[in-house]
């Protein structure tokens, strides 16, 4: 069994904050394997806390906000296998057309999205 927690947190249009980091650590301590956050409408960092993966925010998916930072998003692909370390990758997508469209891996926007996930 795996414990996956979905959290509505963070300040809209901003990077992850100290409250999110504190709550992520508490969720890890409580046994969460994966924490997926939503609400900020922009990409936020994805990181490991020990064995726990925390995706603070994946941005928007099907949302038509006009702000530039709200158009970068990603699909989080996670492999869960008992007894093995959780594996993950982010598939960058753009919402410029009003629907998620995957990017070519060499695209400048893809590099920007991957950089945002590491901040």
Report pLDDT digits (tens) over 52-95.
Answer: 999 999 888 777 777 777 878 888 999 999 888 899 988 888 77
Does 20 have pLDDT greater than 80?
yes
Quote the pLDDT of residue 4: 97
- Residue of 114 and 82 predicted with greater confidence: 82
Dump strand ranges (E) for the chain. 4-8, 34-38, 46-49, 52-55, 72-79, 87-94, 101-102
Contact 101, 57 (CB under 8 A): no
> Quick one: pLDDT at residue 106?
65
- Per-residue pLDDT at 35 exceeds 70: yes
């Amino acid at each position: 069994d795996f414990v996956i927690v979905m959290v509505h947190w963070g300040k809209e249009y901003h990077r992850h904050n100290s409250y999110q980091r504190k709550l992520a650590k508490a969720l890890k301590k409580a046994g969460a394997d994966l924490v997926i956050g939503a609400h900020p409408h922009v990409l936020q960092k994805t990181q490991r806390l020990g064995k726990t993966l925390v995706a603070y925010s994946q941005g928007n998916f099907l949302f038509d906000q006009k702000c530039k930072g709200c158009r970068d998003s990603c699909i989080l692909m996670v492999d869960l296998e008992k007894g093995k370390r959780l594996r993950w990758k982010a598939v960058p997508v753009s919402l410029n057309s009003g629907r998620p469209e995957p990017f070519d891996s060499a695209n400048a926007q893809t590099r920007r999205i991957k950089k945002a996930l590491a901040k």
